[in-house]
Structure 1
Amino acid sequence: MNFKKSMPLIFAGLSILALASCKKDNQPEPLLKPEVSGASDYKAKDSVTLNKTIFLHPKINNAKNAIYSWTVNGARLGSDSVFTFKATDKGDYKISFKAVTGGGEVDLDYQIHVWDKYENGFYIINEGWFGHGTGTVSFYRYDTGAMEDSIFVKENPMKDLEPKSSTLESGVVFRNKLYLVSKVGGPMVVTDEFNMKELARIPSQGGNDWRSFVGIDDNKGLISANGGVFPLNLNTLAIGQKITGISGQVGDMIKEGNYIFVLSQTDGVVILNAADNTVVKKIAGATIGFTRTIDGSVWAAGGTKLLKINPSLDVEAITVPFNLFGSWGAWHPGSITASTKENAVYFAKNGSFSGGTDIYKYIPGNDASLQAPFLKLPAGKIVYGAGISYNAKLDQLLVTTVQSGFGENFKVNNLYFYDPVTAAIKKTVTYDGYYFPAVIVNHR
């Protein structure tokens, strides 16, 4: 081979290879569509309490030179890869994210529910330590699992529940309002159900001795007291004349259908026509009330009888193998509650002067369910106040207890969460203080 003659051909070949290589190196990178990284970690639904923040930071692959946008209920509010959401109004929010590159775009939607300040949990109404301080309101928050105390005075710093000689015994939710009812000269205070801001009150004064409240419609309700039951104007909180036909101390009340069921120390269950407050029927012997089951029946108890009152006001008396004591000597709401998932009633076997340790579950038609307790409290614990409440949101039976005994035992508080079918303890919250819990109040 003639090397000199071959040189131009070799250089020509190398040049062609070099040009081909340059063309390859200069080719633009392919444009890839952005995509969500770690899709299994993407949380499409979430919730947050009012004025708390959520940080949204979706992980996106192929996001080089991306343009971002965030919209909240259709309004564009962000252009970064991260978005901080803080709502000042409760409700439902749709937050949409978009990342756009030359290769395409990717979209994500978040559904965020914003709870009001005291919406995502339940209240415990506390009597307070008689003579040392007034009653208080505590709040158990579902998302944190923490108990928050004294929330009424925290939300209403210029208000109080004085006098210290009074006890806060009842809390009733009606039409997005919470009615707080005190005995022994205390006030009846109306707050917003979800933020605890005071809206109105019947002032404290000697002679007040309230027990409970029941709402009838937007304009009227009833308030019970040591000496009877009274109409209440819900717009002005003006108290009307005592309802005739009911005597003695009156405690719990409940409305079902066209009737109001009233628990009287003298007369037992007194059933009123909700339209005009006239007495329709009386059922003697009841000392504990009230709850309703999913079949529309109202339940009370007393002596050795559990009383089922059906929508036609017919009464069925079920024999219980022990005495059921009321609380007229130191009144608190009745230790009785019902499931919203199954047709079942729960009630505590309280002593005549102290809380009990056994809780029973009665399934209508199954008398065998009354032969043994559904659950026994842990050793050394006793029910205080109403003590039991079925929570529909959790589908659990809630029980408040103190330590058995006197003195400092009363500052040892436990809140138990029980499975309403198996009686297994799902959770226990322990907290200290002389609260003396009266009743648990769940949002409806």
Structure 2
Amino acid sequence: MPYVFAGLAMLAIASCKKDNEKELLVKPEVAEQLAKGGKDSITVNDALLLHPKLNNIKNAVYSWTVNGERKGSDSVFTFKGTDQGDYKISFKAATSGGEVTVDYQIHVWGKYENGFYIVNEGWFGHGTGTVSFYRYNTSKMEDSVFVKENPGKDQEPKSSTLQSGVIFNKKFYLVSKVGGPMVVTDKYSMKELARIPSQGGNDWRSFVGISESKGLISSGKGVYPLDLNSLVVGQKIADVGGQVGDMIKEGNAVFVLSSTDGVVVLDANDYKVVKKIAGASVGFARTIDGSIWAAGGTKLFKVNAALDVQEVAVPFSIFGSWGAWHPGSITASAKENAVFFAKNGSFSGGSEIYKYIPGNQTSLQAAFLKLPAGKIFYGAGLCYDAKLDQLLVSTVQSGFGENFKANNLYFYDPVTAAVKKTVSYDGYYFPSVIVTHQ
């Protein structure tokens, strides 16, 4: 009998051994699929805890890599977003039965990337212009971000107005009128990189980038080449008269808006005048077909790649803003072939936006949208946000004095004109233009 028990015991041990071996040879597997396919985002300096759910992980060995570099060996990993950019984070669990890999795609937003800027003129004579930032994930407006990121620096003198902002080659060019500076910041951090100092006689309007080292800066006295490495302003470009405001580059053509010449098209290589289009006073927008749009009088002007001009009749007068210049009240969709423009008063202050779909004249028979009662545009007033696929509209209260403290930012559906969201905030900001990262 002892031999029988011994035999049974040995069989039991062998059976257990085989079961253990089978257990050890089981490959780890994903127990729960990653939310959003493992794609996520955080803002710079924030952290994200990653913990994939797995089965069959007895005696597993773990490893984590970030963009191919080994960073951890635990079952969980805390990823810290210290720098803006895209990151591939790979997790591997391995046993004697095999291994499984889980990949994450994480975008780290720059501090001021996940949203858009509003460039504010400031209250003339009371303080300089400011830059606000609307953050998508919090749905909140953040005030005076330039000052907060650059202690001790400003946009003075107080008599100047911060009028336009242009993002080019990962830099944000902030342009002031009436003796003010042009300040260059990093577009994600808002840290100042360089500036053209304030000086009596300065009357800058806008900026357009031509190449990594070349740009143009417009002013109340014309348009000038700008060395982007040194910020040295060159000699005024001949044959472009009057005040010069908005500018845009498309291919090898640079479109500049002149108070005396209308649209002036320059060759991007030598800045020689290629064409002039009289009658335009508002610019510019680029539709998805590559056309550049301007407006003025009772016309829209469409300019194609061959610089052919098509004029479209509008049933009202479109006013420019040369008397107290601000960026043009015109923008275009990035989803459909359509251009939007404001029906402003002789300076600003309108309350209707029209939408023109090329080839569809009936789209101009009535306003696409009307602002709520008592609200009017200030500055450019409208901007298309490609990330949201929405039309952004900034307003103040109609009237004078304290009415200018009542700011509203509306988010409109660009197809139906339905209001998707409204953000209200108080202060004498005098918004000039909305600037998106797209």
- Normalized against structure 2, the TM-score is what? 0.91
Letter in 2 for 1:390: Y
Question: Does structure 1 residue 285 correspond to structure 2 residue 279?
Answer: yes
Of 154, 157, 166, the residue aligned with 1:160 is: 154
Equivalent position of 1:364 in the other structure = 358
User: Match for 1:122: what amino acid?
Assistant: F
Q: CA RMSD of the aligned region, Å?
A: 2.6
Mapped partners of 2:435, 2:284: distance in 1: 14
Q: 5 Å matches for 1:124-139? A: 124-139=118-133
Paired letter, 1:242 = K
Matches within 5 A, 1:116-127: 116-127=110-121
When residues 280 and 98 of structure 1 are mapped into structure 2, their CA distance, relative to the original with a 3 A threshold, is closer
Q: Does 1:50 align with 2:44?
A: yes
Q: CA deviation at 1:173?
A: 1.6
* 1:219-278 CA distance string (max 9 Å, x none): 322211112112222222122222222222211111222222221112222222222222
In structure 1, distance between residues paired with 2:267 and 2:37? 51
**Partner Cα separation in structure 2 for residue 221 and residue 42 of structure 1:** 41
* Partner Cα separation in structure 1 for residue 372 and residue 32 of structure 2: 45
Tell me whether 146-155 or 317-326 shows the greater mean CA deviation.
Answer: 146-155
Amino acid at match of 2:213: N
**What is the CA–CA distance in structure 1 between the aligned matches of 2:306 and 2:63, rounded to whole Å?**
60
Residues 1:56 and 1:221: Cα distance change in structure 2 (over 3 Å): same
Deviations 1:80-110 (A, max 9, x none): 2221101323322221223345665443111
Confirm or deny that 1:354 pairs with 2:348. yes
> Structure 2 stretches of 5 or more lacking a match?
none
Matched residue SS, 1:181: strand
Choose 1 or 2 for highest CA Rg.
Answer: 1
What is the rounded CA distance, in whole Å, between the counterparts of 1:206 and 1:82 in structure 2?
Answer: 59
CA 400–33 in structure 1, closer or farther in 2 if over 3 Å, else same: same
Asked if 1:412 corresponds to 2:412, the answer is no
**Pair 1:391 & 2:378 matched:** no
Amino acid at match of 1:150: S
Using the alignment, how far apart are the partners of 1:278 and 1:75 within structure 2? 51
Task: State how far apart, in whole Å, the 1-side matches of 2:90 and 2:250 are.
Answer: 44
The SS at the match of 1:300 is strand
**Matching residue of 2:305:** 311
Output the CA distance in 2 between the equivalents of 1:114 and 1:93: 8
Counterparts of 1:432 and 1:238 in 2: how far apart (Å)?
38
8 Å Cα contact 2:340-2:354 kept in structure 1: yes
Q: Deviations over 1:37-56 (max 9, x none)?
A: 33364741112222211111
Distance 2:59 2:215 in 1: 64
Q: 1:71 to 1:217 in 2, by over 3 A?
A: closer
Distance in 1, Cα, partners of 2:289 & 2:102? 44
Q: Distance in 1 between matches of 2:184 and 2:34?
A: 46
Q: Distance in 1 between matches of 2:303 and 2:33?
A: 54
Structure 1 gaps of 5+ residues are: 1-11
TM-score relative to the length of structure 1 = 0.89
Q: What is the CA distance between 1:33 and its match in structure 2?
A: 5.0
User: Is residue 2:270 matched to residue 1:276?
Assistant: yes
Q: Distance in 2 between matches of 1:41 and 1:232?
A: 48
Given the superposition, is the C-alpha separation of residues 156 and 361 from structure 1 closer, same or farther in structure 2, using an over 3 Å criterion?
same
Instruction: Quote the residue 1:232 is aligned against.
Output: 226
Report the count of equivalent residues.
Answer: 432
Residues 42 and 58, structure 1, Cα contact 8 Å, conserved in 2: no
Residue 186 of structure 2 corresponds to residue 189 of structure 1: no
Partners of 1:223 and 1:367 in 2: CA distance? 36
Q: CA deviation at 1:159?
A: 1.5
Change (3 A) 1:75 1:231: closer
- 1:212 and 2:206 are equivalent in the alignment: yes
- The answer to which of 116-125 and 336-345 deviates more is 116-125
Q: CA deviation at 1:203?
A: 0.3
Alpha carbons 1:181, 1:189 under 8 Å: kept: yes
Map Cα deviations across residues 322-375 of structure 1 (whole Å, 9 max, x no partner): 111111121100000112222211001111243211111101111100001111
* Offset, 1:176: 1.9
Alignment identity in percent?
A: 74
- Write the distance in 1 (CA, Å) between the matches of 2:433 and 2:57: 55
Q: Distance in 1 between matches of 2:186 and 2:113?
A: 11
2:344 and 2:195 map into 1 onto residues whose CA distance is 33
Deviation (angstroms), 1:64? 4.8
Secondary structure of 1:440 counterpart: strand
Conserved 8 A contact 2:376-2:396:
yes
Partner of 1:6 in structure 2? Answer: none
Contact 2:321 2:348 in 1 (8 A): no
SS of the equivalent of 2:322 reads coil
Residue 236 (structure 2) aligns with: 242
Aligned-partner SS, 1:112: strand
The aligned counterpart of 1:86 is 80
Q: Would you say the 8 A contact 1:134–1:166 is kept in 2?
A: yes
CA shift in 2, pair 1:300/1:99, >3 Å = same
Structure 2: which amino acid aligns with 1:142?
Y
Determine helix, strand or coil for the equivalent of 1:329: helix
Report SS of the residue matched to 2:247: strand
TM-superposed deviation, 1:34: 4.2
Q: CA distance change for structure 1 residues 69 and 354 in 2, over 3 Å: closer, same or farther?
A: same
Please give the residue correspondences for 1:340-351 in structure 2 after superposition, counting only pairs within 5 Å: 340-351=334-345
Cα separation, 2, equivalents of 1:186 and 1:86:
39
Shift of 1:202: 0.7
Q: 1:138: Cα distance to partner?
A: 1.6
Residues 99-108 or 274-283, more deviating: 99-108
1:326 corresponding residue in structure 2: 320
Which shifted more, 115-124 or 48-57?
115-124
Tell me, in whole angstroms, the C-alpha distance in 2 between the residues paired with 1:64 and 1:257.
Answer: 60
Which residue matches 1:423? Answer: 417
Distance 1:294 1:74, change over 3 A: closer
SS of 2:264's equivalent in the other structure is: strand
Residues in 2 aligned to 1:281 and 1:88: alpha-carbon distance in whole angstroms: 48
- How far does residue 281 in structure 1 lie from its aligned partner after superposition? 2.5
Q: Does the CA-based 8 Å contact 2:320-2:347 persist in structure 1?
A: no
Alignment-mate amino acid for residue 387 of structure 2: K
